[in-house]
Structure 1
Amino acid sequence: MIHYKTSEEVQLIKESAQILGKAHGEIAKEVKVGVKTSYLDKIAEEFIRDHGGIPSFKGYGGFPASLCISVNEVVVHGFPSDYVLKDGDIISIDCGVFHQGFHSDSAYTYPVGEVSPKVLSLLKDTKASLYLGIEKATSGNRVGDVGHTIQKYVEAKGYTVVRELVGHGVGKSLHEAPEIPNYGKRGSGPLLKDGMVIAIEPMVNLGTRNVVQERDGWTIRTADRKPSAHFEHTIAIFEDRTEILTTHQYIEENFKF
């Protein structure tokens, strides 16, 4: 069942998203060669809790950390660890905040040091596909319009779209209906309506779209071990407009690529 939000509830999600955006900004300052991914997780949890929030991911289904940190061929749901970032890595950082009864959710993929031109293009094109998808997430369109737009854009660039993992509704629960695939047919799927809050999150691979799950039960990586990129925003749909509730502003003030 889809839970439609009142304007007051959307405002609460937006306040949660501000904490999240600023937490991402603090993380962005430290994404560099030589940093342990567990250190980034520590920064995020301390910032979120210091600002009255709770990390949405920590303890969710047994997940052990505040951040999903996915390096190189890991698509999503990677664990923070003692892994030290190296020149040429890419790192996806996915985070959620629970505040005043509501969740927010966003992700960003960073290049570390000097990455290859084709991998840098993967990041830029995946980020662009997020905003193209958001443009289609308007009242009266359907979920398939969003996924079709993302899929068409990235496949024209020679990439593939992960199908096993999708975006989702966001609210009192971290994952709500409807699912928001990053592929699909125009005019198909649930109708987008006033009061819907959804997370759109393209997961795009340089090689095959096939993925495998590691033995830890969480980590998803590409089957061919080629790099994968991931960007995400939580958005609200109104009758007359669509608003991006999360923000990458604080990331981009501290990290340029």
Structure 2
Amino acid sequence: MIVKTDDELEKLKAIGRICADALKAMSEALRPGITTAELDLIGRRVLEGRGAQSAPEFCYQFPGATCISVNEEVAHGIPGPRVIQPGDLVNIDVSAVKDGFFSDTGASFAVPPVAAKTSRLVRDGKRALWIGLNQVKAGQPLAQIGQAIGAFASKNRYSLIQNLASHGIGRSLHEEPSELSTWPDPDEDRIMEDGLVFTIEPFLSLGGHFAEDGGGDDHWTLYSAPKALTVQFEHTIVATRNGPIVLTLAD
């Protein structure tokens, strides 16, 4: 989507804040003993209380309002009876729609006490996202986002999951430009247009390179291959000549 009017931008900002506030409420409730279903209900109440609808449910009939992935799970974890334990690494991904506009955000959290390497991974996952955001400017190549994140990952001896990409968003949850790499991609030759709406969501890992389903009856949850702890941080943004407008910041 290319933002054309102030009304479009305001509606994008509104749904972005709702998603951000749902993520914040869920993160503040995250503690040992809570189940992922209980966390999901907190997010659902924020979304629906503000007049929004879960995008995974609306678009894909996903069995939950949000995606919650724990430890060995990389993405698209189904909320359920799993109980959060001390030391768990938990990713929460919130996307929603209101008034015909979509937004998408996510973050990973380590439940204390955690190993030093896990704490560093969470810290550096946030850094990787902001390194990508700092590359955003209308007229610049999209490829420089993945190049910058890739350089950061390589320098700090991390890997990147290379089949979970960022994406265009706005009037639908996933739209053009599709498959925006958050890793170095020599085939990426597109340019950021003024007003372009898209996500940046690097998956920084301690050794994983791809995400795979686990087989069996659950065809939603994805796991890293090879298995390794992985974090994801995500914002929805608008590219402008002055840099990014980050839509998914909490009030």
Normalised-by-shorter TM-score class: over 0.9
Which residue of the other structure, out of 238, 243, 249, is the alignment partner of 2:245?
A: 243
Show the 5 A alignment for 1:178-257: 178=177, 179-185=179-185, 188-215=188-215, 216-247=218-249, 249=250
The number of aligned residues is: 247
Alignment partner, residue 61 of structure 2 = 62
How far apart, in 2, do the equivalents of 1:93 and 1:208 lie?
19
Cα 1:27–1:193 shift into 2, 3 Å: same
> Residues 145 and 186 of structure 1 are in contact (CA less than 8 Å); yes or no, is this contact kept in structure 2?
no
**Cα shift at 1:97:** 1.7
Amino acid in the other structure paired with 2:18:
I
How far apart, in 1, do the equivalents of 2:66 and 2:164 lie?
17
Q: Does 1:51 align with 2:53?
A: no
Amino acid in the other structure paired with 1:147:
G
How far apart, in 1, do the equivalents of 2:111 and 2:176 lie?
35
How far apart, in 1, do the equivalents of 2:111 and 2:202 lie?
20
Alignment partner, residue 156 of structure 1 = 155
**Cα shift at 1:212:** 1.8
Amino acid in the other structure paired with 2:85:
K
Percent identical among aligned pairs is 29
Alignment partner, residue 20 of structure 1 = 19
Alignment partner, residue 128 of structure 2 = 129
Structure 1: gaps (5+ residues): 251-257
> Residues 171 and 197 of structure 1 are in contact (CA less than 8 Å); yes or no, is this contact kept in structure 2?
yes
Amino acid in the other structure paired with 1:32:
R
How far apart, in 2, do the equivalents of 1:35 and 1:119 lie?
21
> Residues 145 and 185 of structure 1 are in contact (CA less than 8 Å); yes or no, is this contact kept in structure 2?
no
Alignment partner, residue 79 of structure 1 = 78
TM-score, length-scaled by structure 2: 0.94
How far apart, in 1, do the equivalents of 2:238 and 2:186 lie?
20
> Residues 37 and 69 of structure 1 are in contact (CA less than 8 Å); yes or no, is this contact kept in structure 2?
yes
Show the 5 A alignment for 1:168-179: 168-178=167-177, 179=179
SS at match of 1:86: coil
How far apart, in 1, do the equivalents of 2:243 and 2:165 lie?
23
Provide, for residues 63-108 of structure 1, a one-character-per-residue CA deviation record: whole Å limited to 9, x for no partner.
1111111111211111111000111111000001211110010001
